[in-house]
Amino acid sequence: MNFLLDEVARATLRLADAGVPSPRTDAEELAAYVHGVRRGQLHEVADSDFDALYWECVARRAAREPLQHITGRAYFRYLELRVGPGVFVPRPETEIMVDWAIQTLRAMDVADPLVADLGTGSGAIAISIAQEVPRSRVHAVDIDPEALGWARRNIEASGHADRVHAHQGDMRTALPDLDGRLDLLISNPPYVPTTDSAVLPPEVRDHDPAPALWAGRDGLDLIRSLEAVGRRLLRPGGAMAIEHGDGQGIDIPRLFPEELGWRDVRNRKDLAHRDRFVVMRRAED
């Protein structure tokens, strides 16, 4: 074992003692970041190339600063995104919802699908859809100007700025020019109950921006609003997907009743087999 791998082993123990959920992975990711290699190449770093900056990064992670804020990057599906303070770090769980959206768009008999991503954050959802559904046009909305700055930088870097358009605004009133025209609406909205503050991991509570987290006492305030937004924006037969938190799946389907024109309302599970997002369609005329 070379010197760097010995240091990674020590860092793993330090991060585990600090309560970091994935200490080995994070210790390796930090080492790879500092030394400019991939995780699988750590054994190739010579002892003489060891950078003491590594231990500064480990100390920041042990203080529960998000790994992605330290490295400045987050991975989402086929993307490497720039992230940092002021923007919600995209989670792997959301990739399952995006996969559903992409498959749904591909199955539509629509040449140039029109999509909105409400609460875009880093732009992960919007850019993924534009990249994987090449003729789609995607409108990415966020109320937070700092988060939208990150999204705009990621959109520009992705090479899809001609088809992904960023808008600052409230998701509840956004995109009035597109009323009745959307083929798909997708959102990872705020859904954390305000009563859950004490139980959130420090990485979330202390570092994710508040506008991306809190949504009333039961966490459903924004999701309730999205019912009316979906009725306004979607064309007949258009589809919608909304991410939600653990335990919320039982309550959300009733917010999209058949008498208001919703069809095929059902929960979908994430890789851990937990209800993670709800999908539905607007009734055809």
Rounded CA separation 90/98 (Å) = 12
* Average pLDDT taken over every residue of the chain: 94
Rounded CA separation 68/282 (Å) = 37
120 is in an annotated binding site: yes
Q: What is the spatial order of strands in the sheet that 275-282 belongs to? A: 164-168, 137-142, 114-118, 182-187, 234-243, 275-282, 262-269
Is the overall model pTM greater than 0.85, yes or no?
Answer: yes
188 is in an annotated binding site: yes
Tokens of 13: 């123990």
Over pLDDT 70: what percentage of the chain?
100
Per-residue model confidence (pLDDT) at position 143: 96
Residue 1 pLDDT grade (very low, low, confident, very high; cuts 50, 70, 90): low
| pLDDT surpasses 60 at 49 | yes
Which residue out of 113, 189, 193, 277 is catalytically annotated? 189
189 is in an annotated binding site: yes
Q: Name 9's Cβ contacts closer than 8 Å, sequence gap at least 6.
A: 1, 27
DSSP 107-146: HSS-SS-EEEEES-TTSHHHHHHHHHSTT-EEEEEES-HH
119 is in an annotated binding site: yes
Tens-place pLDDT, residues 227-281: 999 999 999 999 999 999 988 989 999 999 999 999 999 999 988 888 999 999 9
Per-residue model confidence (pLDDT) at position 179: 98
128 is in an annotated binding site: no
122 is in an annotated binding site: yes
Are 190 and 216 contacting, i.e. CB atoms less than 8 angstroms apart?
no
Are 147 and 78 contacting, i.e. CB atoms less than 8 angstroms apart?
no
Per-residue model confidence (pLDDT) at position 231: 97
The DSSP code for 171 is: T
Asked if 2 is an active-site residue, the reply is: no
Which residue out of 188, 193, 256, 277 is catalytically annotated? 188
| pLDDT surpasses 80 at 106 | yes
Q: Within 13 Å, how many C-alpha atoms sit on residue 184's CB side? A: 32
Which residue out of 88, 90, 193, 256 is catalytically annotated? 88
Per-residue model confidence (pLDDT) at position 74: 96
Rounded CA separation 79/89 (Å) = 13
Say which range, 104-113, 139-148, 170-179, 198-207, has the weakest mean pLDDT. 198-207
**Is 18 exposed, middle or buried, given 0-12, 13-18 or 19+ CB atoms closer than 10 A?**
middle
Q: How many of the other CB atoms lie within 10 Å of CB of 243?
A: 24
Residue 111 pLDDT grade (very low, low, confident, very high; cuts 50, 70, 90): very high
Residue 105 pLDDT grade (very low, low, confident, very high; cuts 50, 70, 90): very high
Q: Name 145's Cβ contacts closer than 8 Å, sequence gap at least 6.
A: 168
Asked if 188 is an active-site residue, the reply is: yes
| pLDDT surpasses 60 at 88 | yes
216 is in an annotated binding site: no
Rounded CA separation 79/92 (Å) = 12
DSSP 37-65: S-GGGGGGS-GGG--THHHHHHHHHHTT-
Asked if 189 is an active-site residue, the reply is: yes
| pLDDT surpasses 70 at 67 | yes
123 is in an annotated binding site: yes
Rounded CA separation 181/179 (Å) = 6
Per-residue model confidence (pLDDT) at position 247: 87
